[in-house]
Amino acid sequence: MIDIYFSPRFKKSIKKIPYEVIEILTQKQSLFIINPFNPALKTHKLTGKLSQYYSFSITNSYRIIFEFLSKNKVIFINIGTHEIYKS
């Protein structure tokens, strides 16, 4: 089981996410807690300036960037469309 923490940036960004995406996020987060590398999440390590982070898919358009704090703890850094990779 994974414990999830939320960065201030994530808390601010999630307020801008459409309700229907939040509903899907709830389902995906349940999968994530059990196994952050569940194939349905398409979890992958990022590269370049974001190389310390990972990302997983909520929908075709929306992603969450996160970081492992330890084996069983992560922090969600940001949520949004592909634009979050540029910020």
pLDDT of residue 85: 76
Q: What is the pTM of this model?
A: 0.92
pLDDT of residue 87: 64
DSSP designation for 12:
H
Exposed (0-12), middle (13-18) or buried (19+): which is 33, by Cβ within 10 Å?
middle
pLDDT in tens, 29-55: 999 999 999 999 999 999 999 999 999
Please check whether residue 66 is in contact with residue 75, taking contact to mean a CB–CB distance below 8 angstroms.
yes
Please check whether residue 54 is in contact with residue 35, taking contact to mean a CB–CB distance below 8 angstroms.
no
Cα distance between residue 23 and residue 47, in whole Å: 29
Nearest alpha-carbon partner for 72 in 32, 24, 29: 32
**What percent of the chain clears pLDDT 90, i.e. is strictly above it?**
92
